[in-house]
Amino acid sequence: MVSERRKRGREVSSALGWFGSWSPELSASRQWSAPTRQRKQPPGMEELQVEKHVKYILAVEKRKDDFESVVMEHLRLNGAYWGLTTLDILGKLNAVNQDEVISWIMQCQHEDGGFGGNIGHDPHMLYTLSAIQVLALFDKLHVLDVDKVSSYIAGLQNEDGSFSGDMWGEVDTRFSYIAICSLALLRRLDTIDVGKAVKYIVSCKNVDGGFGCTPGAESHAGQIFCCVGALAITGSLHHVDKDLLGWWLCERQVKSGGLNGRPEKLPDVCYSWWVLSSLIMIDRVHWIDKEKLAKFILDCQDKEKGGISDRPDDAVDVFHTYFGVAGLSLLEYSGLKPIDPAYALPVSVVNKVILGK
């Protein structure tokens, strides 16, 4: 079976003339190295509507009473991360007032160190990571009381090594990734039991090579990203069966070129990130047709008003706009900043935060 997978990988790789394969490697500083070269898109492929996407993202922030703004009010910090990271990948982060953003973010922090999704909302790991990531984008992590934030995150680790998302106790491998990613960016991984955290993540591995949200739960591309990302950051990728997992991930590609999150589901632009980043981290990205995936993402653009949707001709939103642009960055689309597959931030930001470059 493994030889068949490798054979297919060689066949797919040799059929691609546009994108080369990434060769990520985990260095002693736990940072993925990424190529800085970029590929030209082939003739006939849609162009990325950069200026329209920038205008769309900036307009979303100004709207306060439309449906998208109302339903996202409680997770505005996540939305800020998606929108601002997209702008940075597009080279347009200077289009926003960073002082206003930072002031608002700090108003979302609670006395215990955690952040809520908006001012007045309860703290949660999800929003705490987004706050850290946005501050990292602006090179403003120094405004944080790092010890307080680290203590909040560390306090959510359970005896078995897992993490709860907040004081109410929900356990999910998403929170394991969030804790590890957050603390790595803050240089405070020593505040948790990393060994136990890794052991718990490994206990969520399934016979198909994938990972679920808890032990015994179904493999899902989103959970796989969280588990593989956490293992990558902690230097623990040796626990992953890369061929088996790579096979499961590459089977997520459907005829349209898009990727789904699990068998028999529709493709969705967001999996351009979850699946692709995981394949890059395990060095199996050459097993999928990257050109077809890029075309699928570009076909999901609203070419008139900007933004990217889950599938062609659906309504756009900030979530899918970010994951579409981030996916194209992983595919080395021309003109985009390279993004780190483990930290979900531009490589330049991670290099500065982790390596001090």
pLDDT tens track of the chain, all 357 residues?
434 434 433 333 322 222 222 233 333 334 344 444 455 566 567 899 999 999 999 998 777 666 666 667 888 999 999 999 999 999 999 999 999 999 999 999 999 999 999 999 999 999 999 999 999 999 999 999 999 999 999 999 999 999 999 999 999 999 999 999 999 999 999 999 999 999 999 999 999 999 999 999 999 999 999 999 999 999 999 999 999 999 999 999 999 999 999 999 999 999 999 999 999 999 999 999 999 999 999 999 999 999 999 999 999 999 999 999 999 999 999 999 999 999 999 999 999 999 887
Give, in words, the CATH class of 48-355. mainly alpha
Q: By C-alpha distance, which of 126, 127, 125 is closest to 106?
A: 127
pTM of this prediction?
0.89
What count of other Cβ atoms lies within 10 Å of the Cβ of residue 126?
Answer: 19
In the 8-state DSSP scheme, what is residue 192?
A: S
Domain boundaries along the sequence of the chain: 48-355
- List CB contacts of 115: < 8 A, sequence separation 6 or more: 77, 105, 108, 109, 123, 124, 127, 128, 130, 131
Alpha-carbon 27 to chain mean position: 20
Cβ atoms 49, 306 nearer than 8 A: yes
Element (H, E) at 155: none
Which tokens belong to 304?
């008139």
Length of the chain as a residue count: 357
CA dihedral 228, 230, 236, 242 (to 10 degrees): 0
Residue 295 CA to chain centroid, in angstroms?
A: 20
> Taking a C-beta distance cutoff of 8 angstroms, is the pair 229, 342 a contact?
yes
Q: Show the tokens assigned to 227.
A: 């588990």
Question: Residue 295: which residues within 8 A CB-CB, separation 6 or more?
Answer: 45, 46, 257
What letter would DSSP give residue 113?
Answer: S
CA pseudo-torsion sign 94, 85, 122, 198: negative
